[in-house]
Amino acid sequence: MGEEHAAPAAAGAHHVHGHGHDDGRKVSYTAWVVTVSDRGARGEREDASGPALVGLLRGHGYDVVGTSLVPDEEDRIRDAILQAAARDVALVLTTGGTGFSPRDVTPETTAAVCERMAPGIPEAMRAASMRITPMACLSREVAGIVGRTLVVNLPGSPKAAVENVSAVIGPIAHGLRILRGGPADCARELGR
């Protein structure tokens, strides 16, 4: 149960419009959105979070090359993340499965497949979200790196997913540039 949709992409495409190199070239990156939902995978609920994230990513210049809708099952979540990483997708956003329910296993599954963790991303998202609702402290999302792919977990609510990633979308683009072999002069970019 669950489905995957891949859009055709140019080989090696990893370009985000608006985030340029020092020589003025604009660069964009590929992205994949994984919705984790038992009810969505069974066709009992329409996926609203995935399309909301696709829209946000496209609005920031990302080339969304695929989406997946999988149940809250470790092997299905793992396979969706690893499939995107195998295709050299720059950014994978997952939505759902980050709460306290016994079936909420997205963070554990993500951590198990990542080679390196990026704890500042979920820390920043939770801090921003805490200004909106005290319940944000209950979100367990993680972020990490698989090869040259950054994976970021987001809550399952469309509103919360968009709010969370919006808080870190700028730093994510900078991190992707470094991860994928771009310049890494953070101090100069910050005016230090």
Domain with residue 105: its CATH number is: 3.40.980.10
Global confidence as pTM: 0.85
pLDDT at residue 107, rounded to an integer: 98
pLDDT at residue 19, rounded to an integer: 41
Task: Report whether pLDDT(18) > 70.
Answer: no
Residue 32 in any domain: the answer is yes
Reported as a single tens digit per residue, the pLDDT across 93-138 is 999 999 999 999 999 999 999 999 999 999 999 999 999 999 999 9
Please give, one letter per residue, the 3-state secondary structure of 49-85: HHHHHHHHHHHCCCEEEEEEEECCCHHHHHHHHHHHH
Residues 6+ apart with CB under 8 A from 76: 2, 70
Residue 130 in any domain: the answer is yes
Residue 162 in any domain: the answer is yes
Residue 190 in any domain: the answer is no
Among the listed residues 132, 190, 134, the one whose alpha carbon sits nearest the alpha carbon of residue 166 = 132
Task: Report whether pLDDT(22) > 80.
Answer: no
Residue 113 in any domain: the answer is yes
Residue 192 in any domain: the answer is no
Residue 134 in any domain: the answer is yes
Residue 191 in any domain: the answer is no
Q: What is the domain count for the chain? A: 1
The domain of 40 spans 3-183
